C-alpha cells in the first residue's frame, strides 16, 4: 500500500494536538538518558498514533521517538515525533508540533507536521512538494490554486532544528528529521 489518506492523518494529528493542549503550560517534563525532554503528553500521543497506524496500515513498521520499535525492516516505516520541540513545549513556547514521517525503502516518502497553537498543518509527499492546509484553504476561498513550496532532504540536524523553530520551514524540517532518524 502506498496511498496515504491525508485527511485521515490530519484528523489524527488534530486529535493528538488536543491531547497536547490539555497539558500545555501545565506540564512536568523529565530528562531521558540522552538528556532530551519527555512528557506524559509525548508518551500518550505516540501511543495513540501507533494504535491508529497499526490498525490502518498493519503492514507498515513504526519507529517512535519515545519507545516504539516495530517492523523496522518493512518497506514502509513511520517515524514519529509526538512532540517535535518538547523543550519548547515544556518552556511554554508556541512553536512545537506533532510530526509523522513515512519512509519507503529507507527514503523519505511522506511527512506531516501539525502546530496546534498556530492552527497550521503542513505535509509533503513523494514529489517533494509540500502544502500548508490553512494556507491552501485561505487561497481556495478566493479561487486561486494552493501555494506550493519546494522541500529538500538534508542530513544536517542543526539545519532541521533551525527550520522547526520557523513554522514556514516546517515541511522541509520534517523530512530532514526523518532522514536523520533513518540514518
Question: How far separated are the first and last CA of the chain, in Å rounded?
Answer: 24
- Answer whether residue 51 is part of any domain: yes
Domain count, the chain: 1
Name the pLDDT band for 52 (thresholds 50, 70, 90).
very high
Cα separation, 108 vs 11, whole angstroms: 22
pLDDT one-digit tens code per residue, 115-148: 999 888 888 887 665 566 554 444 344 343 333 3
Name the pLDDT band for 158 (thresholds 50, 70, 90).
very low
- Answer whether residue 64 is part of any domain: yes
- Answer whether residue 157 is part of any domain: yes
Query: Is the pTM value of this prediction over 0.75?
Result: no
Given a cut of 70, whether residue 5 has pLDDT beyond it is: yes
Q: What does the pLDDT read at residue 10? A: 92
- Answer whether residue 117 is part of any domain: yes
Packed helices 40-56 and 6-23: angle between N→C axes, nearest 10 degrees: 160
Cα separation, 126 vs 105, whole angstroms: 13
- Answer whether residue 1 is part of any domain: no
Q: What does the pLDDT read at residue 183? A: 41
Q: What is the CATH number of the domain that holds 53?
A: 3.30.540.10
Given a cut of 50, whether residue 179 has pLDDT beyond it is: no
Cα separation, 130 vs 133, whole angstroms: 10
Amino acid at each position: 500500500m502506498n496511498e496515504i489518506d491525508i485527511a485521515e492523518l490530519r484528523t489524527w494529528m488534530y486529535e493528538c494536538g488536543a491531547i497536547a493542549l490539555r497539558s500545555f503550560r501545565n506540564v512536568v517534563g523529565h530528562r531521558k538518558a540522552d538528556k532530551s525532554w519527555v512528557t506524559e503528553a509525548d508518551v500518550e500521543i505516540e501511543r495513540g498514533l501507533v494504535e491508529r497506524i497499526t490498525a490502518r496500515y498493519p503492514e507498515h513498521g513504526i519507529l517512535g521517538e519515545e519507545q516504539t520499535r516495530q517492523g523496522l525492516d518493512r518497506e514502509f516505516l513511520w517515524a514519529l515525533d509526538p512532540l517535535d520541540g518538547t523543550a519548547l513545549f515544556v518552556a511554554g513556547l508556541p512553536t512545537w508540533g506533532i510530526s509523522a514521517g513515512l519512509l519507503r525503502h529507507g527514503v523519505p516518502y511522506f511527512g506531516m507536521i501539525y502546530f496546534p497553537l498556530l492552527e497550521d498543518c503542513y505535509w509533503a509527499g513523494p514529489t517533494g512538494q509540500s502544502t500548508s492546509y490553512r494556507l491552501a484553504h485561505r487561497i481556495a476561498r478566493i479561487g486561486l490554486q494552493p501555494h506550493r513550496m519546494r522541500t529538500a532532504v538534508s542530513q544536517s540536524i542543526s539545519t532541521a532544528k533551525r527550520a522547526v523553530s520557523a513554522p514556514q520551514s516546517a515541511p522541509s524540517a520534517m523530512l530532514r528529521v526523518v532522514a536523520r532518524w533513518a540514518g
